[in-house]
Structure 1
């Protein structure tokens, strides 16, 4: 087991990639504090993977108090922290024209601020255990521009910069910091990118456009992203830090 005895925290843990990550972490021997805004989805997570292995924590990570307090609750419940996968995010507004400033701020808060506060809150606990591994979730939109999602792209570029900076700052504490950059994934959030107008035909056309630009010709599966994160937090990646790892079927290889 690659994570035997490890104490892990996963945000946005109850669906999609986060849920796949919880499944893999538990399978590999970790105890997991699963943070999500949905109490019902967390209940299903615990029922599926075991109350002794998964600790549910309900929090709104778009608020500073939620982002900080949820990490503190997780550390208290687990008795420490070796791993943080800061996965929470949202698409945000589709255009900068006539920008809804509240929607903009919420997107920045959830994508960037929650990751920043989570890392800041967990670092001392990892240091006390002799080190740890932090993984953020960015996107291919954090590596190349996104015509459909400029706010999301700006936020995810910030997450990549945060990763590289913290990798340097925390290396001396044996805390590794990396970021995974998925392509468009087949998750509940997909419609927030492809179908913002609510028109199914437009959503299908946008998805086809994205798939057509992927050399491997399909969307990424949640489990494929979780597998990449599992490797990044395991000892198999013990000398890997500051890396932005695309999981995108070759999209960013051009």
Structure 2
């Protein structure tokens, strides 16, 4: 029997990458899906954001698994749009059991060179967007006396990121939000946990600036990304994770097998955080 048969999940950032993987994984386990994503660029984001055609492909993949899906364009910076998507999902399916707050963006730069707009955009999507998503579903879950919220943080929610301090700050914030919400929602039978992905192979990690970072020089390529990714974890021969690895963990957290788990952060990082690390650019006398 499918682990999530008869349940309904809301996935933000569902058009591609990790979000699509979440939608498909939940559908494969028997869940119906409410999927939202943006269909517009964000000025400070240095790679193309999702488009309507991407969300249509997610719909096709979910429907190919014989599951129902409500898909709507909604920006997690717009609380009213999120609330409308939730209401449509409730009107269609009659319930909402799981939230996967996945939508996120990334950009780079020394913290003292970041513009205020860059910092605000990352916080508005990665942290406030998670909070808005939670507030859109919390009243229904409280009324039903059950639910599971899975928030997507990052290994950068557990350690710093030189060159992306605003991203690390946003992902640290997600963990503080998760732990606080777990305390508040626990008495209502609602579990709240977070995933902390490591390096995942998605559109957010496939653009020239990120290739340059992975190569350690200008002119980086996809080949440089793949070679550098092999050093990111400790599992032999394994580079960047596929988004399905994160989705599999979300399915477990949402299901009955994790009934006693709340307020926890789970790294899915191929052992990255277990590595002792090294200083890649020491200052020499």
Which residue pairs with 1:156 in the alignment? 171
> In 1, Cα distance between the equivalents of 2:199 and 2:212?
15
1:61 and 2:82 aligned: no
> In 2, Cα distance between the equivalents of 1:56 and 1:121?
16
Shift of 1:213: 3.5
> In 2, Cα distance between the equivalents of 1:213 and 1:56?
35
Shift of 1:229: 0.4
> In 2, Cα distance between the equivalents of 1:90 and 1:174?
31
Residue deviations 1:77-135 (CA, integer Å, cap 9, x gap): 33221100000001134222232212221111100011101111211111222200000
Which residue pairs with 1:14 in the alignment? 15
Aligned residues: 254
Tell me which structure has the larger Cα radius of gyration: 2
Taking structure 1 as the reference length, the TM-score comes to 0.91
1:40 and 2:26 aligned: no
Going from structure 1 to structure 2, the CA distance change for 1:74 and 1:92 (only over 3 Å counts) comes to farther
Going from structure 1 to structure 2, the CA distance change for 1:196 and 1:117 (only over 3 Å counts) comes to farther
Which residue pairs with 1:237 in the alignment? 258
Deviates more, 1:31-40 or 1:201-210: 201-210
Q: Which runs of 4+ in 1 moved over 6 A?
A: none
> In 1, Cα distance between the equivalents of 2:230 and 2:90?
40
> In 2, Cα distance between the equivalents of 1:185 and 1:199?
22
Contact map agreement 2:31 2:67 (CA 8 A) in 1: no
Which residue pairs with 1:103 in the alignment? 118
> In 2, Cα distance between the equivalents of 1:168 and 1:52?
33
Q: Which runs of 5+ in 1 are unaligned?
A: none
- Return the match for 2:245 from 221, 224, 234: 224
Shift of 1:180: 0.5
Shift of 1:70: 3.2
Cα RMSD between the aligned structures?
A: 2.2
Higher helix share: 1
Deviates more, 1:102-111 or 1:175-184: 102-111
SS in 1 for 2:53: helix
Shift of 1:25: 0.9
Taking structure 2 as the reference length, the TM-score comes to 0.82
Which residue pairs with 2:32 in the alignment? 31
1:122 and 2:137 aligned: yes
